[in-house]
């Protein structure tokens, strides 16, 4: 978890997560709301406020598949 200070205007928590994490930030809104209990989803963040960002979850390792070579 890391904390950032809001420096701009017209920024919502979901937009902040998208900017920080790209597509991976879409599933982090609930965790971010839990870490920042005074912040509501869809409400503009106040300039100068401190926002705690959750960590990205670890990528699940895909099971290895046995491959078949048809021509070899």
pLDDT for 59: 67
> What CA–CA distance (Å, rounded) separates 42 from 13?
7
Indicate the pTM of the whole model.
0.73
CA 68 to chain centre: 38
Query: Domain map of the chain by residue range?
Result: 2-53
> What CA–CA distance (Å, rounded) separates 13 from 45?
7
pLDDT for 43: 87
pLDDT at 14 over 70: yes
Which residues, at least 6 apart from 2, have a Cβ–Cβ distance to it below 8 Å? 52, 53
pLDDT for 58: 72
């Amino acid at each position: 978890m890391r904390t950032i200070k809001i420096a701009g205007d017209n920024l919502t928590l979901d937009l902040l997560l998208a900017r920080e994490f790209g597509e991976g930030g879409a599933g982090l809104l609930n965790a971010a709301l839990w870490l920042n209990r005074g912040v509501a989803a869809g409400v503009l963040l106040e300039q100068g406020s401190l926002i705690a960002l959750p960590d990205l979850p670890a990528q699940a390792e895909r099971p290895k598949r046995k491959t078949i070579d048809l021509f070899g």
